[in-house]
């Protein structure tokens, strides 16, 4: 087979596998990891056939390398948890970053981005149906997961995810893209009805996650979309409707108001203080990447082992130090700045949806563990790769 044909097959296979990751992400971690592994294998063989690494000269990739480097240096502070630290460095952070690299390498055409968005919408529709089935028929389609009881009267929806916060994170990543397509994409009426139905299903599921961080993240995403577009009244109406449901339904209102109660996040405050104490002890290179869950018990008044920091930025600082945190923030800042710049020039509605999703995710990450969940962080880095493609390569979404 001709070298060019082999390269084309590998490139197409890499792209298909990444779409497979996107589709199976909510339902099967095993399938997601298999598709990601095959995509990485195709990428490596591609680069052997055609060793072009010019894309690595982009500042974003240089900053990511710096971020990974400082995480690597933190390993020297991880004793006696060096094995866990090395596993977190290579099995987690390196694999997460590789999703960004693979996505940036694969999605260089409008056609591919269209198909990826279609795959995401189909997967999200299945998640929505699964959530409604779990909530109203008490039957979850993938493994029969029960809802999580929060009080004797209230149980939170999880769908195929293991926790209601994970489902909430996922929904707030998908919904801004769905709403952006619905409002700004010219399409046949039948497709518009399908998107309207999908957005309604996903918003209904979002309510029943009882995830306060997800609600606030969705509100932030919609508010940002309203400020960036000429659909302020329409989006404002959606926001008023969303807040109205939260206020008028007693169980939702009680959960939402807990956000502003002094004791509503006492659990998080304890973990934040522990993360800050770790950071103050080793501000430059942290306590070792991947060691927070093992060390946190030494920094809390009672035994709190096995806990995340419930703030991704504080956890990065505690585990890997200030330089790792700054490099991550600079990476995110540059990515978002380029997206804003391109959005002003192109009014690309796919870029708009992904940008609002990413900012909502980062807002939520101040209060939860999105960057430390395998499924959610894969979706985050996948969206980051798409946003890079849409921003830097000037891809326009064809009507």
Per-residue pLDDT, 5: 81
Alpha carbon distance 380, 312 (integer Å): 13
Per-residue pLDDT, 396: 42
Per-residue pLDDT, 260: 53
Alpha helices (runs of H) in the chain, residue ranges in sequence order? 3-24, 29-49, 59-74, 82-87, 94-106, 110-132, 164-184, 189-207, 212-228, 232-248, 250-257, 266-281, 292-295, 312-320, 322-346, 349-364, 374-392
Separation of first and last alpha carbons in the chain: 36
Q: pLDDT by residue (tens digit) across 249-262?
A: 777 777 766 655 55
Mean of the pLDDT values across residues 26-53?
A: 90
Cis peptide before 80 (omega within 30 of 0): yes
> What band does 180 get if pLDDT is binned at 50, 70 and 90?
very high
Domain residue limits, the chain: 1-52, 53-263+309-392
Per-residue pLDDT, 346: 87
Contact 77, 365 (CB under 8 A): no
Q: Which of 397, 386, 398, 399 is nearest to 339 (CA)?
A: 386
Q: pLDDT by residue (tens digit) across 240-294?
A: 888 888 877 777 777 766 655 555 566 788 889 999 999 999 999 999 999 999 9
> What band does 385 get if pLDDT is binned at 50, 70 and 90?
very high
With H, G, I as helix, E, B as strand and everything else as coil, classify residue 156.
strand
Is residue 395 predicted with pLDDT exceeding 80? no
Q: Taking all residues of the chain, what is their mean pLDDT, rounded to a whole number?
A: 89
In the chain, pLDDT over 90 holds for what percent of residues?
65
With H, G, I as helix, E, B as strand and everything else as coil, classify residue 155.
strand
Is residue 129 predicted with pLDDT exceeding 80? yes
Is residue 162 predicted with pLDDT exceeding 60? yes
Q: Over 95-154, what HEC string results?
A: HHHHHHHHHHHHCCCHHHHHHHHHHHHHHHHHHHHHHHHHHHHCCCCCCCCCCEECCCCC
> What band does 398 get if pLDDT is binned at 50, 70 and 90?
very low
- Burial of residue 233 (CB within 10 Å: 0-12, 13-18, 19+) is exposed
Is residue 178 predicted with pLDDT exceeding 50? yes
Question: What region does 290 belong to: left with phi over 0, alpha with psi -120 to 50, or beta?
Answer: left
Which residues, in sequence order, are bridge partners of residue 155? 149
Q: Which of 242, 292, 274, 382 is nearest to 78 (CA)?
A: 292
Alpha carbon distance 40, 22 (integer Å): 15
Alpha-carbon separation of residue 98 from 35, 104, 114, 173 (angstroms): 13, 10, 22, 20
Mean of the pLDDT values across residues 45-61?
A: 81
Contact 339, 355 (CB under 8 A): yes
Is residue 319 predicted with pLDDT exceeding 60? yes
Alpha carbon distance 179, 184 (integer Å): 8
62-99 b/e (C-beta count within 10 Å ≥ 16 → b): ebbebbbebbbbbbebbeebeebbbebbeebbebbbeb
* pTM of the full structure: 0.93
DSSP for residue 208: T
> What band does 352 get if pLDDT is binned at 50, 70 and 90?
very high
Rounded to the nearest angstrom, the gap between the alpha carbon of residue 102 and the centroid of all alpha carbons in its chain is 16
Alpha carbon distance 178, 225 (integer Å): 12
Is residue 338 predicted with pLDDT exceeding 70? yes
Q: pLDDT by residue (tens digit) across 181-240?
A: 999 888 888 889 999 999 999 999 999 999 988 999 999 999 999 999 888 888 888 888
Per-residue pLDDT, 397: 42
Per-residue pLDDT, 399: 36
> What band does 40 get if pLDDT is binned at 50, 70 and 90?
very high
Alpha-carbon separation of residue 223 from 128, 205, 219, 240, 306 (angstroms): 23, 20, 6, 11, 35
Contact 154, 360 (CB under 8 A): no
């Amino acid at each position: 087979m001709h070298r060019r044909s082999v390269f084309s097959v590998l490139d197409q296979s890499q792209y298909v596998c990444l779409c497979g990751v996107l589709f199976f992400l909510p339902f099967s971690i095993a399938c997601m990891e298999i598709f990601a592994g095959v995509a990485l294998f195709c990428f490596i063989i591609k680069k052997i056939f055609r060793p072009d690494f010019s894309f690595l000269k982009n500042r974003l990739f240089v900053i990511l390398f710096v971020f990974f480097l400082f995480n690597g240096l933190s390993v020297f502070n991880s004793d006696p948890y060096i094995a866990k630290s090395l596993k977190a460095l290579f099995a987690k952070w390196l694999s997460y970053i590789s999703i960004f690299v693979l996505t940036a390498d694969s999605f260089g055409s409008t056609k591919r981005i269209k198909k990826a968005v279609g795959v995401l919408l189909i997967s999200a529709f299945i998640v929505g149906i699964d959530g409604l089935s779990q909530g109203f028929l008490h039957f979850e389609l993938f493994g029969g997961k029960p809802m999580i009881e929060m009080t004797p009267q209230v149980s939170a929806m999880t769908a195929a995810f293991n926790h209601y916060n994970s489902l909430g994170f996922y929904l707030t990543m998908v919904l801004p893209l769905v709403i952006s397509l619905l409002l700004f994409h010219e399409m046949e009426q039948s497709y518009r009805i399908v998107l309207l139905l999908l957005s309604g299903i996903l918003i209904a599921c979002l309510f029943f996650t009882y995830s306060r961080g997800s609600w606030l993240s969705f509100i932030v995403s919609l508010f940002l979309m309203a400020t960036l577009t000429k659909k302020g009244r329409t989006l404002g109406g959606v926001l008023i409707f969303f807040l109205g449901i939260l206020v008028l339904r007693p169980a939702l209102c009680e959960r939402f108001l807990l956000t502003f109660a002094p004791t509503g996040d006492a659990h998080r405050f304890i973990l934040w203080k522990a993360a800050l104490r770790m950071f103050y002890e080793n501000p430059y290179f942290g306590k070792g990447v991947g060691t927070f869950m093992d060390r946190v018990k030494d920094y809390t008044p009672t035994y709190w082992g096995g806990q995340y920091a419930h703030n991704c930025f504080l956890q990065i600082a505690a585990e890997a130090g200030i330089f790792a945190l700054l490099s991550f923030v600079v990476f995110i800042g540059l990515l978002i700045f380029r997206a804003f710049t391109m959005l002003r020039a192109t009014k690309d509605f796919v870029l708009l949806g992904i940008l609002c999703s990413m900012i909502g995710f980062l807002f939520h990450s101040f209060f939860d563990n999105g960057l430390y969940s395998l499924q959610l962080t894969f979706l985050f880095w996948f969206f980051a790769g798409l946003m890079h493609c849409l921003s830097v390569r000037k891809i326009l979404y064809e009507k």
